Structures are given as structure tokens and as C-alpha cells.
């Protein structure tokens, strides 16, 4: 269900490269969460960096919603960039195909989810 890679890049470089790869693959970044900063603002010290990118391809999202509007709760997709306990930078995602298959058995949605997953893996590997 998880797809995670490790990179030699700094968290800032990996984050920049994710943003560029998202655009290059016809997706867009809808929102970025800097989890460390967000929690710091609430009085909690997260010892490691973690950035979460909400990404979307409008055509794919529209196709999912046309098939099953209830799946709006599974959108948008997310890619995370974070430091692990050893300070290594990782980039990962949850499998859209696995998530949607647990919510629907529609063959059309499985095809869309597989296409989205393939693109998200390409984005991650381009930023790696």
C-alpha cells in the first residue's frame, strides 16, 4: 500500500524537485503542509521535517467523481517528503489503486487509479 524511496538530496531540494516533477507530469500542487511548522505553531515540537503535498490532475479527478461522487473523500492525492530517525530523506505515497479498490470495485475506477499511481511513482522517482 505504501511506495517509499530514499534520496541523497536534502529535504529542501527533494521538496523543490517534487514540485517541479508534479508540474512536468500535468498534475498541480493544491496545497503544501509543512507539518513541523504547523505543529510548532500549536506548541508541539516535531523533531524532524515533514512536508505533505496535495496534488491533483483535474481530468483524472473529474473522471473519478463522474464514476462515484462519494470518492471525493479520497481526493486529492498526497506525496510526502520527510526525514526519518536517522536524518535520511524519504519520499512516499499511499497507493491510489489500493485505496480505491478498498472503496469501489468499478473497473473504470481501477483503470484511473492505476494511471494516477503510475504517474505518481514517476513523479517520486523524478524527484529522487
| pLDDT tens, per residue, the chain with 128 residues | 999 999 999 999 999 999 999 999 999 999 999 999 999 999 999 999 999 999 999 999 999 999 999 999 999 999 999 999 898 999 999 999 999 889 999 999 999 999 999 999 999 999 99
User: Cα dist. 118→15, 20, 35, 52, 63 in Å?
Assistant: 20, 17, 26, 19, 16
**Strand ranges, E, within 8-88:** 28-34, 50-56, 77-83
Q: DSSP secondary-structure letter at 64?
A: H
Task: Note the pTM of the prediction, 2 decimals.
Answer: 0.93
CB–CB of 69/109 below 8 Å? no
The answer to whether the CB of 115 falls within 8 A of the CB of 25 is: no
The whole-number pLDDT of residue 62 equals 97
pLDDT value for 22: 98
Distance of alpha carbon 51 from alpha carbon 92, whole angstroms: 11
Map out the domains of the chain with their CATH numbers. Answer: 2-127 (3.30.310.70)
Amino acid at each position: 500500500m505504501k511506495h517509499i524511496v530514499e534520496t541523497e538530496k536534502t529535504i529542501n531540494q527533494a521538496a523543490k524537485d517534487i514540485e517541479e516533477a508534479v508540474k512536468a507530469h500535468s498534475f498541480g500542487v493544491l496545497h503544501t503542509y509543512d507539518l513541523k511548522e504547523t505543529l510548532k505553531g500549536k506548541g508541539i515540537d516535531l523533531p524532524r521535517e515533514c512536508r505533505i503535498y496535495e496534488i491533483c490532475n483535474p481530468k483524472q479527478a473529474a473522471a473519478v467523481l463522474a464514476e462515484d461522487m462519494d470518492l471525493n473523500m479520497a481526493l486529492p492525492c498526497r506525496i510526502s517528503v520527510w526525514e526519518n530517525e536517522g536524518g535520511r530523506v524519504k519520499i512516499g505515497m499511499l497507493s491510489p489503486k489500493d485505496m480505491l479498490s478498498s472503496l469501489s470495485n468499478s473497473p473504470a475506477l481501477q483503470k484511473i487509479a492505476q494511471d494516477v499511481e503510475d504517474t505518481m511513482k514517476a513523479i517520486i522517482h523524478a524527484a529522487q
